[in-house]
Structure 1
């Protein structure tokens, strides 16, 4: 069973949609630093804009926790995300494995850093890049 703060975090992302982005104010600190493999965002308002753009065309995203741990005001959670987006693999469901490092201040997340393989999430599902990345992986595995 996950610590309540990690469960709240997971629940937040599992119910997130363009129609309920204001709930971001309850979980994220106004001065949050958000980092993922594509962006670095500072401030809750900028994070809300980023999420609004990201969830605009998303069919769905569902997160399942693998493991989680919290020590004082720092936490770590590994997860699997099942998602469908019309621009990625023509909307076919894909699974991405990742993890998130978190820090809390005043019971809100002030630091959020996602780690995941962008190839697993996007590149391998694009026609030319998918073929190219699979060839590179094969070549690396052969060596």
Structure 2
């Protein structure tokens, strides 16, 4: 079955939604996600919209900037996949310097078009660890050793 143009539009709107999301408009998560959403990333596994809103409230509290560029993507009637590049600044990571992270998201939609499963894949070292003084030095050493092997 060939994906409908609405499926592509839904994925582009997802990226646009995240480019507009900030601490003051977190209530708009209800427009995108179903009450029973499951959200998974390399650090968290969150069940339910209320828990997801709490997670984003904490995550976006000190976020200074966050932008996504949409990369390769694919869609089906009830699913979507998008690769992305996120550029962000957060006061608690890397002293507020610009951080660039590459990742992908898998989405599953219910019959009403709301997201019931959101799974992110990204390199936690690229996002956080390399920007912490001691851990960043250690991960750099490990990467160097592995490159020599």
Q: Which TM class, normalised by the smaller chain length?
A: over 0.9
Please, which of 24, 40, 47 is the counterpart of residue 29 of structure 2?
24
SS at 1:107 equivalent:
coil
Counterpart check, 1:135 vs 2:137: no
Q: Distance in 2 between matches of 1:90 and 1:122?
A: 11
Please, which of 96, 111, 131 is the counterpart of residue 91 of structure 1?
96
Count residues with an aligned counterpart.
143
Runs of 5+ in structure 2 lacking a partner?
Answer: 1-6
Give the equivalent residue in structure 2 for 1:10: 15
Deviations 1:20-40 (A, max 9, x none): 011111110110000011100
Could you say what the CA RMSD is over the residues aligned between the two structures, in angstroms?
1.2
Counterpart check, 1:36 vs 2:31: no
Q: Distance in 1 between matches of 2:25 and 2:31?
A: 12
Give the equivalent residue in structure 1 for 2:118: 112
Deviations 1:50-104 (A, max 9, x none): 0010000010110001111101201100000000011111000010000000000
Give the equivalent residue in structure 1 for 2:129: 123
Q: Distance in 1 between matches of 2:38 and 2:122?
A: 17
Runs of 5+ in structure 1 lacking a partner?
Answer: none
Displaced runs of 4 or more, over 3 A: none
Q: Distance in 2 between matches of 1:24 and 1:11?
A: 13
Give the equivalent residue in structure 1 for 2:77: 72
Q: What TM-score comes out, normalization by structure 2 length?
A: 0.93
Displacement of 1:7: 1.0
